Structure 1
Amino acid sequence: MNRRTLLQLLAASVLPRVVRAGEHLPQNLTFVGQKKFERIVAQALKENWRALPIGERITRAALAMEGIPYVGYTLEIHDRIESPSVNFAGLDCWTFFEIALGIARMLKEKKGPYTPSDLLRQIEITRYRHGICNGGYLDRIHYLDEWFRDNQKRGHIQNITESLAQTVPLTDRRIDEMTVLWKSYRYLKANPDLRPGMARIEAELQTHPFRYIPKEAVRAIEPKLRSGDIIGIVTHKPHVYCSHVGLAVRTADGQCHFMHASYTHKKVLVDQTLSGYLADFKSHAGIVVARPVD
């Protein structure tokens, strides 16, 4: 392309738009809170988080997000186009653990400098089936049990649940939350044609056995948990296996606490011990645990 042709294209505004990997929407929609991101990155560089094991990197990133308000449905950012997204102004349980993991993975990927696109790429890798977002809502992994399987298959985590304690099967329910409660999801509400595809995904998920550690056994296995382990909260409620997710964080007293974006407390916080947290909710049945891998 010669200079004259380039100038003509610029004048006509027909130059092809540069699309970053997996980013199908502009960053003014997909990345909220760049100043917070920059503060976390600056702290990570100053304290050399990159040299830490992945569990410690996740924990540092998580603690740097402590106090951010809880905001539900932060993944529903458009009516039709799906794209990796990050929102430091408000987190739900899924985006909290996933952003902490994404920051930890980003820091290891290269020495810096770090940009929003670097974090969005890490979010794409773990949030979407096979690590690829093609702009479709059904590319996204919507259920934690599938997230565990897909990310373990690609070497990002190890599901260590059955190595920690005797587990029990969950066999008394269907996975159908998103097709039953489709009005709660912006994309499914705006696009009825997505619902049969979601129903097929849910039906496939039910073909996989699901085992968990009952909450009565969690206190005994807390010493085996590490900071940065991903804790899925298994529920007695219908339509879904896991209703909540957070991180194990070992505090200065040596105890294993549950850190999460809490609907009850309306913010990200280090809550009580994991077993204590489980005991406070009759609806909580137990846990599944994934350990991130570098």
Structure 2
Amino acid sequence: MTSTTTVPAVALRGGTSIPQLGFGVFKVPDGEAAQVVSLALDAGYRSIDTAAAYGNEAGVGAGIAASGLPRDEVFVTSKLWIDMMAREAVRPAFEQSLERLGLDRLDLYLIHWPVPGAGRFVEAWEELVALREAGLVREVGVSNFTAEHLDALVAATGVTPAVNQVELHPAFSQRALRAHHRELGIATEAWSPLGQGTVLGDPVLSAIADAHGVTPAQVVLRWHLQAGTVAIPKSVTPERIAANLDVLGFELSAEQVAAIDGLDQVDGRIGPDPEEFAG
């Protein structure tokens, strides 16, 4: 089993760091979340990513509490949903997430989607920054923001997000956006890091997996690590939960990384387009 001490971390703005491999709970029912989170923490994960919209914060919090781990050893992320982006709604939404999780603070809080047509993400961001300044959350960031959304946010507020969590996998590698993140000092976090399984049957990944004696999923997660990306794979299967963390014992060659990079597709997006998504 992978030791938590060897899982690399990515430094965030302001001195906080986030484990580079975390555990996602998207579509995990609240009634199952406590058990699944407990399995993940037992396997060695120390970062749990949830959201108000997932409807499972209570279960996630129960799993964290049942682990018996010190609070400082578990990095907890949640997200502000799009119906709570008005200035006066942000603090209550945040406090409701804390209550459901059974926590007195978060490690990372994100705006879940920009919804640019609503014109709310700047005021929502200002309120997230206020939460950080009040000591209620260690760091704040965004999710599903494009380069244009990020630039607008920074121009309006002068405050750069610590993280942008976006869809990112070999078929949709977001190279231009990742380069923009590097210019701004924003950490890239990948949701659906395995492309919801759609890329795992590719012969390129199978050949690399065979060469290392690992699975295609482990190859993809190793690709994320070597790119400096934070990844939050999700599984409810104990064997896969453990396997997704066990990616530290091999290294991809430059040629193998290039081959995986070559799987990028113009139409590789699986989830919604941030320019269009409005809930």
TM-score (norm 2): 0.27
TM-score (norm 1): 0.26
Which structure has the larger Rg? 1
